[in-house]
């Protein structure tokens, strides 16, 4: 696979000193897992991060963003870098990966503002990140480990920082992610390509590890997805105007009973028209 920024950059800028650059040697926290990744599979989450947290990034002089567990190739880190640079030209991105071979494979793609380092949940970067993205990483851990990883990562964030942890389908047509601040989880976002599902609860297969085993009767996330499907069915008449229109009407209907933001940056037509829906974490928490 070739990438747009394939030329090795000898004048690499690495934001802050890492463990491998002279600090104490720290054993990375975590386990090497499957490295599946793919071009553009995280596009929906990147777009959401830029829209919802772009202002946060711009409020910092040189905001540090970590892409944790980028996989067998750094393609999604390169895409994140480009998309966030468009929203915040001063952003610096570090890809952190626990597999040393995958770090070695990524090094030729370094450039000013973009670097790669071996590490795990301890995040061996020189200063607290304003944003950490971890996609398709925790699904390969146990549920208890996923909760513990959330705690570890939240503790590493800048005081106003955010962790975006999620899961998506192979080519990114179905995705679910949670945004967490240092204080805890804030929101859950469902995102889908309009041709990528029959009913909203099809996205349940992509729930983050901390929620996926809770999609059973009696749990809030199950009730939410049940109501999401009911609203979708009730809005079937809008089908004739297109699936996008039906999704927007479904979101508006669901927002009558569930804490769904209806204004930007998290909600309203501008987000819903993209096939997104964000709900407050408390509403679906186990
Ligand atoms: C399935 S790939 C995901 C790649 C990319 N984020 C994506 O969504 O396309 C998961 C990667 O996370 C890495 N990983 C697992 N645990 C990790 C940890 N604790 N710290 C850093 N990387 C980790 C694995 O080695 C693997 O390369």
Domain boundaries, the chain: 33-284
Count other Cβ atoms within 10 Å, centred on residue 188.
24
- The ligand 1 atom at the shortest distance from the C-alpha of residue 71 is 27
Q: Tell whether ligand 1 has an atom less than 6 A from the beta carbon of residue 165.
A: no
pTM metric for this prediction:
0.92
| DSSP E strands, 136-223 | 162-168, 174-181, 184-192
| H or E, element range at 64 | strand 64-68
Q: What CA–CA distance (Å, rounded) separates 154 from 135?
A: 15
Q: What CA–CA distance (Å, rounded) separates 41 from 75?
A: 10
pLDDT at 25: 61
User: How far is ligand 1, taken at its centre, from the CA of residue 24, in Å?
Assistant: 23
With tokens 């590493």, the residue in question is: 156
Listed in sequence order, the DSSP H helices in the chain are 43-58, 75-87, 100-106, 143-156, 209-212, 220-234, 243-254, 269-272, 281-284
Q: Tell whether ligand 1 has an atom less than 6 A from the beta carbon of residue 70.
A: yes
Q: Tell whether ligand 1 has an atom less than 6 A from the beta carbon of residue 97.
A: yes
With tokens 């989880």, the residue in question is: 185
Q: Pick the residue whose CA is nearest to atom 14 on ligand 1.
A: 69
User: How far is ligand 1, taken at its centre, from the CA of residue 44, in Å?
Assistant: 18
Q: Tell whether ligand 1 has an atom less than 6 A from the beta carbon of residue 247.
A: no
With tokens 């999604």, the residue in question is: 76
User: How far is ligand 1, taken at its centre, from the CA of residue 198, in Å?
Assistant: 29
Q: Are 104 and 135 in contact (CB under 8 A)?
A: no
With a cut of 70, which residues of the chain have pLDDT below it?
1-25
pLDDT at 7: 31
Helix (H, G, I), strand (E, B) or coil at 3: coil
Q: Pick the residue whose CA is nearest to atom 20 on ligand 1.
A: 120
Q: What CATH code would you report for 33-284?
A: 3.40.50.150
Q: Is the dihedral of CA 85, 89, 95, 96 positive or negative?
A: negative
**In Å, what is the CA distance from 107 to each residue of 20, 111, 255?**
14, 9, 45
User: How far is ligand 1, taken at its centre, from the CA of residue 185, in Å?
Assistant: 21
Could you give the dihedral angle defined by the CA atoms of residues 52, 250, 212 and 144, in that order, rounded to the nearest 10 degrees? 40
pLDDT at 120: 98
Q: How many CA atoms lie within 13 A of 211 on its CB side?
A: 28
> Measured at the alpha carbon of residue 160, what is the angle toward residues 49 and 56, in degrees to the nearest 5?
40
Q: What CA–CA distance (Å, rounded) separates 152 from 16?
A: 20
* Beta-ladder partners of 94: 66, 115
- The ligand 1 atom at the shortest distance from the C-alpha of residue 30 is 19
Q: What CA–CA distance (Å, rounded) separates 277 from 260?
A: 8
The CA-to-CA distance between both ends of the chain, in Å, stands at 41
pLDDT at 24: 52
């Amino acid at each position: 696979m070739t990438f747009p920024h394939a030329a090795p950059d000898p004048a690499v800028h690495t934001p802050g000193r890492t463990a491998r650059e002279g600090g104490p040697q720290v054993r990375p926290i975590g386990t090497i897992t499957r490295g599946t990744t793919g071009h553009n599979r995280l596009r929906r989450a990147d777009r959401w991060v830029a829209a919802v947290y772009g202002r946060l990034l711009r409020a910092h002089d040189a905001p540090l963003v970590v892409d944790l567990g980028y996989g067998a190739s750094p393609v999604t880190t390169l895409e994140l870098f480009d998309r966030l640079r468009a929203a915040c030209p001063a952003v610096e991105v570090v890809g952190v990966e626990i597999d040393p071979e995958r770090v070695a494979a990524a090094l030729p793609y370094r450039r000013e503002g973009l670097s790669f380092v071996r590490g795990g949940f301890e995040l061996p970067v020189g200063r607290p990140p304003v944003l950490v993205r971890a996609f398709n990483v925790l699904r390969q851990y146990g549920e208890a480990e996923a909760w513990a990883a959330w705690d570890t990562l939240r503790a590493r964030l800048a005081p106003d920082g955010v962790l975006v942890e999620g899961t998506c389908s192979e080519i990114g047509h179905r995705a679910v992610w949670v945004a967490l601040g240092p204080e805890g989880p804030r929101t859950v976002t469902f995102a889908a390509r309009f041709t990528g599902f029959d009913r909203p609860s099809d996205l349940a297969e992509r729930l983050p590890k901390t929620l996926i085993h809770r999609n059973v009767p009696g749990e809030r996330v199950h009730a939410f997805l049940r109501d999401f499907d009911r609203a979708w069915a009730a809005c079937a008449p809008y089908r004739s105007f297109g699936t996008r229109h039906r999704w927007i009407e479904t979101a508006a209907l669901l927002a009558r009973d569930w804490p769904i933001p209806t204004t930007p940056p998290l909600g309203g037509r501008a987000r819903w028209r993209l096939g997104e829906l964000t709900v407050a974490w408390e509403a679906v928490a186990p």
